[in-house]
Each structure stands twice: as structure tokens, then as C-alpha cells.
Amino acid sequence: MSTSGEPSKVRPNGSGRLTPTSAPGAPIRIGIAGQFYASDEWLRLLAALEAVDWSVGECPVSIVAMGPTRPPAMPERHVTFFGWKPQTEAVELLNGCDFLYCPYPFDAAMEQVARQSFPSKLVLYLAAGRPVIFHGPAYSAAAQYIADRGCGILATRLPADNILLEIGQIAGNHQRYSEMASKAQLAFLEDFTLESMARSLA
């Protein structure tokens, strides 16, 4: 999976499948792709999941991960690691998840980077058409984009407990989930295809 290639080469997945709430107690899968440079945030998510025995309500939770390196402290019972995948296959795997996790450093030394940069994994997430879980500072460019687009959950504090509360609420609400998923894919189509980039430069 290339997270540094041209976004225009990514193709959206339009299956429209609404996986959470399909049945009481249905599994919830969280996807993560790319480099694991926000390890503190990732470890907080793992700790929050451990505290609730990897379940949200009656729904068991698992994680699908892909990228050039294994995520740190990966509990193999709950996390499946696929390694590096080409963009097309990565989008398909992410589309098979219910939520897509995008951690970003809270470290004050990274503030300017967070304000001025945009995580390339987010483009894959939007193409997959699934709600994004952004776990990072509110001042970051990515947080502001997700808020403007209404395509995900913003967790702007380091503790991850509220992420699980939000997942439970959204997974139990067909309409809200569907709207977020649709807005994610619309954001990709309007902002990250070759055609949309050409229009913005015209």
C-alpha cells in the first residue's frame, strides 16, 4: 500500500454496505493503514479496548491493520495484520471495515506539522467510504477537514475512552452511520480525484 503516491490513483469503493447494526451483537471492525508514527495514541486505543474486553455494548471489536511495519504492542488475538497492500486492495480491505482509525500526534513538538500537513492515509479512508475516527489535536488540518466534511468522529483528547462511546452510538444509528459513510466518499470524489484537483487549479 502506498500512502505517499498520488491521491488521483486511488479509486473509490462504492459498495454502500452498512455493516454496523446489521444484527444485534454483530462484530465491529476498525481499520488502520499506513505508518504507525502516532504510537502513543494507538496504545491509548488498545488500552481502552482492553478495559472493555474488546467489546462495545454486545458487539465484539477487532482491528484490521496494514502497512509496511507491524503496529506496536499488537495483540494478535484481536488485530489482524496484512502487511503492505497496493492502493486498490487497501481500499477494498478498508471498505470491509466499519470505522477507519487515523491517529495523529498530540506531541506539542509536532504542532506545526499537524497544522500544516494532511495524513495521506486519510485519502484512502475517504475512498473506502467509511466513517473516520480521528484521534489527534483539534488544531490539526485533518481534524478541521473532517469536521467541515462531517465524515467522522473527532477524538481530540489523548484518552481513547470516548472513541468507544462514539462508536457505540453511531453503530446503533443506521441513519447517522450511513450519512457519515456517504460524506466520506463524497469528500474523496470532490477533493481528491484527478478531475477534482484539476478543477481546483483551473
* Full domain range(s) for residue 32: 24-201
| Residue 14 belongs to a domain | no
| Residue 12 belongs to a domain | no
- CA dist 64 and 97 (Å) reads 8
| Residue 128 belongs to a domain | yes
Cβ atoms of 131 and 151 closer than 8 Å: yes
| Residue 13 belongs to a domain | no
| Residue 5 belongs to a domain | no
Cβ-based burial of 112 (10 A; exposed 0-12, middle 13-18, buried ≥19): exposed
CA 160 → CA 133, 144, 154, distances in Å? 11, 19, 11
- Alpha helical stretches, state H, the chain: 39-51, 87-95, 111-116, 121-128, 141-149, 161-171, 174-191, 194-201
| Residue 38 belongs to a domain | yes
pLDDT, position 5 = 38
- CA dist 196 and 81 (Å) reads 33
CATH number (domain holding residue 40): 3.40.50.2000
| Residue 15 belongs to a domain | no
pLDDT, position 12 = 52
Look up cell 484537483; give the residue.
197
Helix (H, G, I), strand (E, B) or coil at 134: strand
Q: What is the mean pLDDT of each run of 10 residues along the chain (202 residues)?
A: 41 51 79 91 97 95 96 95 95 97 94 90 96 97 97 97 95 93 96 64 45
pLDDT, position 36 = 83
pLDDT, position 201 = 45
pLDDT, position 166 = 96
How many domains, in total, are found in the chain?
A: 1
| Residue 84 belongs to a domain | yes
pLDDT, position 3 = 39
